Structure 1
Amino acid sequence: MENVNSVLESGNRLDIIRAIKDLKQFLEETEVTETRSMCSNRLVAILHKPNGTSTDLRIYANENLAQSEEAVINSIVNVHLPRELDAGPDNTLVFCMVTLPESNKTILGGPDPLYEGRLVGMSVRGKNVSRLRERVNITMIFTSALNETHVPRCVFFDFSTKAYRSDGCLTLWEYGQINVTCSCDHLTYFGVLMVSASLQPIHQEILSYITLIGCSASLFALVITVLLFITNRKARADVSMKVHINLAIALILLNLHFLPSQMVAALSSGRLCIYIAVSIHYSLLATFSWIALEGFHLYLLLIKVFNIYIRRYLLKLSVVGWSIPAVIVSLVVIINKDAYGRVPLDITNPNSTKICYIRSDTVKMVTTVGVFTLVFIFNVIMLGVIVKRVVSLRQRKEFEVSDRDRAKRDIFTLLGVTTLLGITFGLVFFSFGYLTTPGLYFFCILNSLQGFFIFLWFVMSLRKTGNSTKAAKTSNVTRSTNS
């Protein structure tokens, strides 16, 4: 413990991680015949020897002492271990509190400081404790006032990835509270990060109403769009319209499952919440897939105009658009079935409104943010190519319409194509840092109404097709009269 203390004071990041990991293993392997408490400068530990009966266990610790069952004076950490651990006489339950120096609060990674530089580690000799039904509750007392611009977030340190994670941990805390409780379903080294508060409660409430109204309007408009497609024979014969309708169906599924997500998360039914979370994930990925396919289809229409024939073109698009998301979601369920569940809308405030969605940060980053980033880059390139093509066509041809009408038509066309390509989703990249609040407002307004914009695009396309048909008939009558 003295050697670890010296590493904490002067070691680099990798040395500190290695020292804490070695200490954890060493304490687990230490043989004791009775409960023993130890202290050495920045380390406080207790080796608890169970008496053979399976009961709840409480551990209390301050900066100089840790003991089980009995509270200590000026306790700063209280731990409640559930009976489900089932530790017997052959197991040793290890508790170790590590306090990093002031200068090393962020040395373990991440921009956010570790509160008081404190890590609380727990393990059971001979057991890998995870996925507990009864959670482990670690309560940390705040010994100094919190910055109003920061909120606590419970995390654990993953020694394999050498980074903080929050999978399986809930942060139980409210504004003004003098302590925070980390409720987790496994044992390891836990800590509390002080993260910047992203939004004030008033903004969260306004954004929730905007999202609810926008998604409801989009869902209604998208259903009307599908009905118009079904009842219009010419629209059913148009391949482009079929691609648009597949995107509309993906958005219908997304809105249909997202709207009741908050209500379902408030219920006690875990299985229903998991179903909603899986459905939202699948429909979101399907939306991204069809957005990418919209870009690919527009590229074929405008760039590869001649000599293009793809056998069973729409069937192949459908296989890509609907199957790839299904494969991704299936792999997530197989690899980590606990990746879905209740999560707070604001990750920096765990007590904010919860919805049913992806709980795993890794799954969320890879399968949603990662996939969308690739789709966004592809469609931005497609948009640039399309704009260049339209501009070149305008320069070659002379039109009877005025420059103002031509500019108006081009602007509306560009806005429609931008909606189909999902470019507005890219506003999420501007919802960080100083642009957090305005970026989130633009993101919520434009993307919650994306279904409504697609409805407008569809109606305008039908109207344009009707006008073209009328013009063709008029032209035929005129030629007949002249003859």
Structure 2
Amino acid sequence: MERQPTDSLKIMFFLISLLFTAGSSENDLFLDFCGTWRHGKGSLSLNIDISTGCDGISISASESSLSIHGKITAQCRRSDVIPLNQFGLDSVEDSPFCLFWEPLLDQLKLQVGEHSLILCWPGSLLDTCCTDLSHGSNTAKAKYGIMNGMVRNDVITAKIQTAYNFGGRSTKCKALCDQVSLESTYSDKLEDTVTRMKSIEHPCAYRAEVEMKEGFRGSNIISPTTTGESSEPTATVHLPPALKQVAKNNNKVVCTFFRNNSLFQEGYKEVKVLNDVVGINVENEIITDLSEPIRIGFHHDAVPKVQPRKCVSWDTRKDPLQVKWLVDGCKTQQRRATHTECLCNHMTYFAVLVQLEPRPVHHLLALTAITSLGCAVSFISCIALIIFLCRKRGRSKEQSIPIHLGLAVSLAFLNLLFFFTAVLANVEWESMCVWVGAVLHYALLSSFSWMGIEVFHTFWLVYVVFNPSPKPYIWNLVGFILPAVPVIILAAIGDIYGQRDVVPSDDIFNPYKMCWMKENDKAFLAHICTNMTILAILVPSGIVMLFLVYRQIRKRDEWKQNRVAFLSIWGLSCLFGTTWGLTFLDFGPVSDFIVFLFCILNSFQGFFLMLRFCMLDWIRKQAAGSTLGSTSTGSTRQHMLQERG
């Protein structure tokens, strides 16, 4: 389809205007100052003294403090002394830092090491902005101060200076905002010009004010519509009548709409802020516990069902320097894939967060309680089973006892470690979780190995009757030594074991921490090559062997006793590791049921094994003289229950 003549004219006039406008733009859109703070190893602090105006800003440093002073903001005022030892800076002499200033949002952020501190929260567009911060005269060289000072990656000087001074100049915010729109558009390809003309978004925050007069019955505020194909506003806010009763000293409500501000994503990798962030406040008042909630509707891109959404608010009271999203005080209503409504009973910044990876776990608290209880019971049961098998080993020559004993030992070790993994994950010793994760992986592989030995040994007893079974030291080599080989290799590769967060679906900001494999590509590949590969071999082999054993004993008289049949097959399924096969069924509408069943069966596995061995021993004693109670080690086909007991 050919372009219409009017489109060609639009392109021509648009490009001409871009050339003239972009060529005349001289304002700086931000300040990005970075350097390295050379300091002592004692007590360190950050001194802030920021106020409104446009005189400029000074960044200075000494042996014990980093200071930021100046008048550059439109509405932000801050005077604080903040301890920095909490960030671990006292253990080093050089700390890299960066100071970011965005005049359009009146936003000031300091990054020290790996920590970001919000000195001035983002605000709405006002009349004048302080921009064009030019570098002033250098100070004298010193032992402590700022070295390698840079502005937008351009090095000013590599020497250690005590301070850097920048002077500012006021300009119209609206003109600066228009400049951003034109420059971002001009940078696009020529063939996309018409498309861009139809979808340019104003980069500045939109501010709306509502006067709550007498008889206030609520009000609706709508964000500016985008100029793309859809004319639907990205966010809507409904202020309830109850707000008038709570706001005592001020009747003006300010609502600000922010789009694509990277600050709100600060510090979160597993979640994503969807499009708009809405700030609602009454000047100089803290509004909480509204009897009727504020309704905020967010219209966004379609979100898959597997990625849950949560309405959150930015907690600016407990720690105003950190970006911390909380679910407290907000309820989430997912209207459809592209619409989420938040009902909040307070005022601050609001947004919708989407959980990305890993997939959040439903009912994590209940699953954790079941697993912890199961591991504790299984550990105690395995210790009891070890004592039982050791005593039985002294008066019986059954070939299966050493193998049962090896499985009981490995399961006891696995359950003990898993029970304490959450406690050890919170120990403030970074290498602790690496070691615990590696040892836990070894315990899991060792348990799988002994289950595989159980399968192989049963096959040997059933179908290789006339040859002796391999010696016990061979089983110990395969069950205890061989699993250590892949763990040692993975530990040598590095960045595989460590702290892992299991994210609950009902509180994505309060993950369950454990020591295991990390969430990266190397750890995922290691999980597939070790755990999943072994299970892919173990589970089918166990199921086949379970079927073959069933065929051997189903016609025996004692098999007709229900409790014997149940304990035999149930115990064998635990011995052969078939219950771990549920991990392959965790999908679809029965996912939650499978997860609960998996936790119950495998966390209580040690208890079920102990129960099976003790019950079968009791039954044999009750049926002394019968085939089930015989101590003869003749044909394994005739004494399968005894041999597997």
Indicate the residue corresponding to 1:308 in structure 2.
467
- The verdict on how the C-alpha distance between 1:260 and 1:83 changes in structure 2, with shifts beyond 3 A counting, is closer
- State the partner residue of 2:111: 80
Equivalent positions of 1:312-391 (< 5 A) are 312=471, 314-336=472-494, 338-346=495-503, 349=508, 351-390=510-549
1:194 aligns with 2:356: yes
Letter in 2 for 1:376: L
Q: Residue 615 of structure 2 aligns with which residue?
A: 460
User: Structure 1 residue 268: deviation in Å?
Assistant: 2.0
Cα distance in 2, alignment partners of residues 258 and 241 from structure 1:
26
Residue 214 of structure 1 corresponds to which residue in structure 2? 374
**Counterparts of 1:77 and 1:179, CA distance in 2:** 20
Within-5 A mapping of 1:274-285: 274-285=434-445
- 2:574 match: 419
From 580, 584, 591, the counterpart of 1:429: 584
How far apart are the structure 2 equivalents of 1:422 and 1:473? Answer: 25
Alpha-carbon offset, residue 474 of structure 1: 11
Cα 1:376–1:423 shift into 2, 3 Å? same
Q: Deviations over 1:390-410 (max 9, x none)?
A: 454458x6x455x843x6544
How many angstroms does 1:246 deviate by? 0.8
> Is the CA contact (8 Å cut-off) linking 1:230 and 1:236 kept in structure 2?
no
Q: Which amino acid aligns with 1:374?
A: T
Secondary structure in structure 1 of the residue aligned to 2:427: coil
Q: Cα offset for 1:196?
A: 8.6
Q: 1:299 to 1:289 in 2, by over 3 A?
A: same
Change (3 A) 1:72 1:57: farther
The match for 2:386 is 226
Equivalent position amino acid for 1:327 in 2: V
Return closer, same or farther for 1:288/1:93 CA change in 2, 3 Å cut-off: farther
Q: For residues 283 and 240 of structure 1, do their structure 2 counterparts lie closer, same or farther at Cα, with a shift above 3 Å needed?
A: same
- Larger Rg over CA atoms: 2
Code of the residue aligned with 1:228 in structure 2: it is F
**How far has the Cα of 1:283 moved from its partner?**
0.7
Change (3 A) 1:230 1:384: closer
- Which structure has greater strand proportion? 2
Find the residue that maps to 1:342 and give its secondary structure.
Answer: strand
Please state whether the residue corresponding to 1:309 is helix, strand or coil.
coil
Instruction: Summarize deviations over 1:30-57 as a string: whole Å, max 9, x none.
Output: xxxxxx9999xxxxx9997759976544
Q: Does structure 1 retain, via aligned residues, the 8 Å contact 2:580–2:598? A: yes
- Give identity over the alignment, percent: 21
Distance 1:244 1:389, change over 3 A: same
**What root-mean-square deviation, in Å, do the aligned CA atoms of Structure 1 and Structure 2 show?**
4.7
Q: Is the 8 A contact 2:455 2:545 kept in 1?
A: no
Q: Distance in 1 between matches of 2:609 and 2:586?
A: 24
* Residues 232 and 428 of structure 1, relative CA distance in 2, 3 Å threshold: same
The 8 Å contact of residues 359 and 503 in structure 2, kept in 1 or not, is answered as no
Counting only pairs closer than 5 Å after superposition, residues 290-305 of structure 1 correspond to structure 2 as 290-302=450-462, 304-305=463-464
1:73 and 1:198 map into 2 onto residues whose CA distance is: 37
Q: CA deviation at 1:456?
A: 1.4
Question: CA 1:356/1:89 → structure 2, altered by over 3 Å: closer, same or farther?
Answer: same
Structure 1 segments unaligned to the other structure (5+ residues): 1-35, 40-44, 59-67, 102-115, 121-135, 153-170, 182-191, 477-483
Q: CA deviation at 1:353?
A: 1.9
Please name the residue that 2:604 is paired with.
449
Closer/same/farther in 2, CA of residues 453 and 79 from structure 1, 3 Å limit:
farther
SS in structure 1 opposite 2:548?
helix
CA distance in 2, matches of 1:335, 1:87: 36
Residue by residue over 1:428-467, the C-alpha shift from the partner in whole angstroms, topping out at 9 and shown as x without a partner, is 2223342232111111111110000111122234346656
Greater helix fraction, Structure 1 or Structure 2: 1
Q: For residues 458 and 71 of structure 1, do their structure 2 counterparts lie closer, same or farther at Cα, with a shift above 3 Å needed?
A: same
Q: What's the secondary structure of 1:239's corresponding residue?
A: coil
Q: How much has 1:252 moved relative to structure 2?
A: 0.8
1:280 partner amino acid = L
Alignment check: 8 A CA contact 1:150 1:196 kept: no
Question: How far off its partner does 1:81 sit?
Answer: 5.7
Residue identity in the other structure for 2:356: M
SS state at 1:254 partner:
helix
Q: Which structure has the higher relative contact order (CA within 8 Å, separation 6+)?
A: 1
Who is 1:264 aligned against?
Answer: 424
Measured in 2, the distance between the counterparts of 1:266 and 1:452 equals 28
Please give the alpha-carbon distance, in whole angstroms, between the structure 1 residues aligned to 2:392 and 2:504: 45
Q: Distance in 2 between matches of 1:359 and 1:380?
A: 25
Kindly state the Cα deviation for residue 269 of structure 1 after the two structures are TM-superposed.
3.0
* Deviation (angstroms), 1:270: 2.9
How much does 1:359 deviate? Answer: 1.6
Match of 1:242 in 2: 402
Partner of 1:70: 101
Residue equivalent to 2:284: none
Q: What is the identity, as a one-letter code, of the residue corresponding to 1:225?
A: L
What TM-score does the superposition give when structure 1 sets the normalisation length? Answer: 0.60
- Residues 382-426 of structure 1 show CA distances to partners (whole Å, capped at 9, x for unaligned) of 34433443454458x6x455x843x65444322211111111112
Change (3 A) 1:309 1:214: same
